[in-house]
Chains A and B, each alone.
Chain A
Amino acid sequence: MTTHTFKLNGETVTVEVEDDVRILWVLRDVLGVTGPKYGCGINVCKACTSHINGKAFNPCSVPVGAIGADDEITTIEGLADTVDGDGLHPMQEAWLEHDVAQCGYCQPGQIMAAVALVNRVRAEDRAITEDDLDAIRNVCRCGTYSRIRDAVRTGAEMMG
């Protein structure tokens, strides 16, 4: 086992675990951070989507040995703290406004993917298109897809 240090939701954490263990399991099984969900383990379903240094990534497909002390991981649990104020992140508010969730299992990943999409589109100085929404890969077996599309647009507006 090796000692690994990285930033998680604003705090520095240190874990003892083998280098090749994927970050999803470090979060869930070692650190008890259960917001990111397992849905496939092969970077297909996107249920574990979280952020690394502000960009969406899938911790099921990154060994803990691939990140270092300066890397900052944000999971759904830490999303609200990335914006000012005591409340939720605007994208979470948008999710509530559209009552998106059904079973809720995929929704942490959906929200994290949505925030990254809005940031990316904004960096490209353009509006979200149907093609952008079509390219969201996150599976929702309950089929909340249309509400997700609406909530991403609302969330984008609320993110200002």
Chain B
Amino acid sequence: MGKQAGREPAARLSRRSFVGYVVGGTSLMVMADLALGASPASAVPIPSVPQIPELYDLNDFLVHCTLPTANHVGIRIDEQGDAHFALPRMEVGQGITTAVAMLIAEELDLPLDRVHVTLAPARPELLFNQLTGGSNTIISMYTPIRVAAAVARKALLEAAAIQLGALLTSLVAKGGVISAPDGSSVTYGDVATAAAAPTTRQVKVTLKAAAERTVVGTPQRRIDALDAVTGRKQFAMDIAVPDALPTMVCRAPDLNGTAKSIRNEAAVKAMAGVTHVAIIETGVAVRARTFGQCIDAVRALDVEWNAGPVAGKSAPDILKELRAAQLPLVVPKAGAATLDGDFVFHFRSGSALEPNCAIADVRADSATIWAGLKSPIDAQSKIAKILGLFQKQVSVNVVQGGGSFGRKLFSDGAIEAARASKAFGAPVKLMWHRADEPRQGRVHPMAVSRIRATVLLGSVISFEQRHTAVPTDFRHGLGERLTAEVSALPTGLGNLGFSETVFMLTQELPYNFGVITQLLNEPKPAPDRFNTSSVRNIYSPDVATANELMVDQLAKRLKQDPVAFRRSYLKSRVVKRVLNRAAELGEWGRAMPAGTAQGIAIHKEYKGATAVLVEIDCRPETVNRKVRDAVTGPRVTKAVVVIDAGVVINPLGIKAQMMGGFMDGMAQALTYGNHLVDGHFLEASWDNSAYTRQWNTPFDFQCEVLDSESKVPGGVGEAGVAASMAAVACAYARATGKMPTEFPINFHDPLHFEPKPFIPSVPQSPTDGLSYTS
């Protein structure tokens, strides 16, 4: 990476002046280097000082990973003057296509509805730069996209100056129309062809100042909203690919068990609609005319299974492993001066509502994939290797995803689809059954967090955290083959290094607590025992929840109000601002009936900060309220989220992410978990897993996006989760007088469901739906 040091200053002429390119050709195509806007890369080696994220965080790391690749993003202007941009990232609901369209509309002076953003297929030449993760899209693409749009605008203005016979500097561009002082005008469409250049040329542009903006910073609805509400928005399983028939996989009863043999292959092949049956690496794949017939076939299969890698193990076994591997605390226990905390975070599913799925058409010398993929280059490389093809023989089309939450960083569905298509010699439309998702899909790893703080002479002098977790699988690397291979080194050591790096680059305790150490240990590094992933916000929800509960304990010990205590110990002005505003908006300290309470928590990450205030009702009449087949329990009645997200592109999009992050964090605190029992997870449906539903939703939800003092945009897709989970936990502790130490809080309640059988691996669809019309 160091090789590239020095390139960036050459491209950046002043704070808002940059160089981009008009690309040679017959239509107007402009480009900008993706590395624009990153600070010089000479500081790439990771500083080995405590509390690294203050100086250099995961987003800096992700941005710097783009530097060695001389790669570009391009905008095309068509003959109607509309702008087209193929985003080398994946839209999964986080709103990046809308935000990117806004940046282009702003800098190009074109109405937002004339900017068309699609998702780029796998572009191996982009190396590191086609990974959607770490809430990094806007942080990393903010400058290159604006530069490209400004180059297009300038090229259009230059062409217009010739056509109108006017001085370039006298022209005004607005809404896709360029006007001269004499009242004459041309549209972008009129001059788009003339603006094309026969050969590539460099163009210097100056970006708009913040005060000149009319689109960026204003609330804009999602550009795909109409498609979403009319059912026209296409997800992977909605795409019609000839002969790509429904395909499902019959999976082992054990987590990660494998198929040894099929005892009734001929009988299953003879079932209505069924065309193919074959053993693949992850089970037995079946292909049929409809998914319903796939379900029938999966249920009919009689398979001899190999045991899985955690056969017979249950959550207490894993807890024991984790506790045994906890790294020692440095500060000795000092009687009353010491506060110890020990927290357990159970596995929870990273499922989106759209299950893992992909279409694959594998031929002898080529393969084509359609899927929602956040690391498409890594998928392309892995699939090529599996199929024995060259990477360039595999085309990977990136489709909008029905949610991700970290799940789609991995390409499990696409890889499985490629294997099945190869085994069958036919195209497949492969989809996981819902039951497969919590049982065999990627989960947020189980973890324990041990904290020791020391209070001396009325002040906190040390805060140590030892976070010990089942390893998080980072083997998508940075979306690129070389790094992916490094973190898939034998024995998992490569993975451990990357996990520690991510932990180190994301965790920051923004308090003046004297000596602070936060360490991660992942004792059994081989990440293939459990299927984990960097589920939304990675380590932060657990780490923040443990921290903020302890912060409340410290406040109590020092006889201070939780908000006043945080105010006096916070070292970051940004965090203080969000805390103060949340306390004000949420009327912190108002009188609450017994059994109900407020809770507040903060989190600092993604170049910004979040504060969440909630009110929770833990009174028996609320906790025991009845909704059919529902996990009710404590009800959060009100939530206030305040975020400083840096420069705001789309406040409406940020508020949406905060609401979603809140619903996610609340579920992780109260109800959402996976029970590992005897080598497999019991949960097999949304009712089992108890993710947030309407009956858990706060009656009053408010979000405020602060005017930031920052000059750069922050990441928002994950920023709401950690403080939300922590605030709900803190409120629960204050309402019940008992600090929760195990999450979700209802984990040890009697199981609220009858676990579905493990053989067959999927439940049959009911037939009584007409009895439930409403």
List the interface of chain A (C-beta within 8 A of B).
1, 17-18, 20-22, 24-26, 28-30, 32, 34-45, 47, 52, 55-63, 66-67, 75-77, 80, 88, 92, 95-96, 99-108, 111, 116-117, 120, 130, 133-149
Contacts and interface: CB of A to CB of B under 8 A. Distances in A.
A34 to B, nearest CB: 4
Given A25-B291, A145-B694, A111 B660 contact: no
A135 to B, nearest CB: 6
B235 interface: yes
B48 interface: no
Contacts of A17: 289-290
B222 A99 contact: yes
Interface residues of B, number: 75
A141 B697 contact: no
B592 interface: no
Contact of B272 (A18, A25, A57): A18
B21 interface: no
Nearest to A108: B231
B402 interface: yes
Nearest to A75: B231
B774 A56 contact: yes
17 contacts: A26-B290, A30-B289, A34-B237, A42-B763, A44-B687, A55-B773, A61-B767, A102-B656, A103-B354, A107-B228, A107-B229, A111-B229, A134-B697, A136-B694, A139-B353, A143-B660, A148-B694
A41 B93 contact: no
A4 to B, nearest CB: 13
A40 B352 CA distance: 11
Contacts of B124: none
A144 B693 contact: no
A145 B292 CA distance: 30
A149 B693 CA distance: 12
Contact of B353 (A45, A80, A146): A45
Interface majority SS (helix, strand, loop, mixed), chain B: loop
B773 A77 contact: no
A67 B229 CA distance: 27
Interface stretch (B75-83, B447-455, B605-613, B661-669): B661-669
B127 interface: no
B685 interface: yes
B233 A104 contact: yes
Contacts of B686: 39-40, 44-45, 139
A47 to B, nearest CB: 6
B693 A42 contact: no
A102 B770 contact: no
B174 interface: no
Nearest to A30: B290
A109 B63 CA distance: 38
Nearest to B767: A63
Contacts of A32: 240
Interface in B79-129: 92-95
Interface string B622-659: 00000100000000000000000000000010001001
B659 A40 contact: no
B656 A57 contact: no
Given A45-B434, A58-B769, A37 B402 contact: yes
B769 A62 contact: yes
